[in-house]
A and B are shown apart, each in its own frame.
Chain A
Amino acid sequence: MRHLFLAGVPAMAALLLWTPDPVAAQTPKSPAKTYSPRRMANGHPDLQGTYDLATITPLDRPFGTNAVYTKEEAHKRETAAALQREQGDQAIKGDRTAPPKGGDGSIGPAGNVGGYNTGWLDPGSTYTMVNGEIRSSIVVDPPDGRVPPMIPAAIQRTTAGRARPTSDAQENANDPGLEKAPGAYDDPERRPLGERCLLGFGSTSGPPALPDYFYNNLHQIVQTPDAVMILTEMVHDARIVRMNAQHLPKNIRLWMGDSVGRWEGDTLVIDTTNFTNKTRFRGSTENLHVVERFSRIDDRTLLYRFTVEDPETWARPWTGEYAWPATNGHIYEYACHEGNYALTDIMKGARLREKEQASAKAAR
């Protein structure tokens, strides 16, 4: 689901592609040395602004691709994505018939009944660019650009817990837990956090904050000497980072973890622990530890780098990075519960299926 429907405006792509060589010279590898960001009254860099995280760079590097795309490769892929989007916008027959009985063949969460027109979607249209490199994955370490495989104990644990969907279960379209695990529809609390309007889909709020390959990718940073707030449009998540503070006692657990921040030179470092066992980012435990590093690349762009570790899930820590370009767009409210008819329809649907199965069994 993630890569099929990519945005269609090649303007940014063109900008990226026609930038004269050497691109690297324009985005220095050590921004702090050659670039002095605008500053707050206390002398620390001003990271405030609204950022649009949309990108077509996936978290995991596709097999068989290099870490960095050439301009030509990126152009080809971005153009293909744009074309696909444009085709999705084309008119169809006005005098069409209803879709086929038995389903339209769509897979994953679209569940054989289809999803939305491309008109509803607003994913990225370009690959993320870091150090002048057009990146094929957000993950940069391990060097193969892919999230390390889970250790056997973690696989066992997550398999046993499949009926308790995780915060990013939506992204795992083939995850049997979402639809087929016993008990997946037993009560609303078994449904994924995004479906319940609790946290964004696919770790949009994080930490680590990942792009939503669908829409509503805006994030806003508000900064004071004592706290930094990161607001994620989907699903209205505000994370408060306490500066130069100690972590909360271990028995206090938060949906997005407990974040404390400090400055290392011109880089804001945010350390997050104290997660619950309800979010389970990519199958991790509540002992997940995330370190994020925010720095300014230029007046309009932040570099976001994160390292994730959980020895009970992965044999080694892993790191990702991507650019957060500023946007002139506004974050809109994402009040979600009031209009969430879908959840009641989903639960009702499950009860009806149970009844049908029971009466079919009785008839046998």
Chain B
Amino acid sequence: MRTRLLTTILYIVVALLTAFTALRPAAAHHAFGSEFDANAPVLLKGKIVKIEWVNPHTWIHVEITKDDGAKEVWMVEGGSPNTLLRRGANKNTFPVGTDVVVDGYQARDHSEKRANARNVTFPDGRKLFLGSTGTGAPNPDDFPTGKIKTPNK
């Protein structure tokens, strides 16, 4: 009985830990803490106007409309494009005009309209990039009009 209780507690702890870590984006490869300002969170809703398909980090340019109606282009930092390329995605997979929602933190230099891309999703919350490899890789034809396959299902 006691063992069962302990096992149950253990399962709950593991489940909580898993949920906690899964919700968080992965740690970065370089000094994100110095590059971005933890006191300047941003939520950007707009259209992709350009993708810089470069190493070490992909930069996605998103045009947003501010409250006063003015347009502003932000650059958000993602990971290495090589991984996406190996999955069959390329810069044509996410054409200009694709609507996205990005959450992150602005660069410390606020004169720069730059931010880290903690999460890049379509307006309905689906992730733009999925982490599958091999046969589970998303079909580029499915982007961006929907029907993104959830890998391994």
> A residues bordering B, Cβ < 8 Å?
1, 4-5, 7-12, 80, 82-104, 106-122, 125, 170, 173, 178-179, 185, 191-192, 194-195, 197, 201, 214-216, 233-235, 329-330, 332-336, 338-343, 345-346, 348-350, 352-353
Contacts and interface: CB of A to CB of B under 8 A. Distances in A.
22 contacts: A9-B134, A82-B152, A86-B151, A87-B22, A92-B121, A94-B101, A96-B119, A98-B41, A110-B28, A113-B37, A113-B104, A114-B28, A115-B28, A115-B118, A122-B133, A179-B33, A329-B86, A338-B54, A339-B55, A341-B57, A345-B35, A349-B37
Contact of A119 (B31, B55, B127): B127
A92 B112 CA distance: 27
A349 B38 CA distance: 12
B133 A7 contact: yes
B103 A96 contact: yes
Nearest to B99: A94
Interface string B115-134: 01111111111111111111
Contacts of A82: 152
A190 B79 CA distance: 23
Interface in B38-64: 38-43, 52, 54-57, 59
Given A4-B26, A109-B27, A192-B30, A197 B38 contact: no
B109 interface: yes
A8 B132 contact: yes
Given A111-B33, A111-B36, A179-B31, 13 more contacts: A4-B21, A8-B132, A89-B132, A89-B151, A91-B126, A94-B122, A104-B24, A104-B38, A106-B24, A109-B29, A112-B38, A119-B84, A214-B26
B78 A120 contact: yes
A352 B112 CA distance: 13
Contact of B28 (A109, A332, A339): A109
Nearest to A191: B31
B42 to A, nearest CB: 6
Interface of B: 18-19, 21-43, 52, 54-57, 59, 75, 77-80, 82-86, 101, 103-105, 107-109, 112, 114, 116-136, 150-152
Given A191-B31, A339-B56, A118 B26 contact: yes
Q: Which of A116, A118, A120, A170 has the most CB of B within 10 A?
A: A116
Contact of B114 (A89, A338, A341): A341
B131 to A, nearest CB: 4
Contacts of B132: 8-9, 89
B43 A114 contact: no
B103 A119 contact: no
Contact of A125 (B26, B104, B108, B133): B133
Contacts of A85: 131
B138 to A, nearest CB: 9
B146 to A, nearest CB: 12
Contacts of B107: 345, 348-349
Contact of A89 (B54, B56, B78, B150): B150
Contacts of B103: 96-99
Contacts of B133: 7-9, 122, 125
A218 B151 CA distance: 22
Q: Which of B18, B42, B54, B80 has the most CB of A within 10 A?
A: B80
A109 B79 contact: no
Contacts of B54: 335, 338-339
A334 B55 contact: yes
Contacts of B39: 101-103
Contacts of A5: 21, 26-27
Contact of B120 (A110, A117, A233): A117
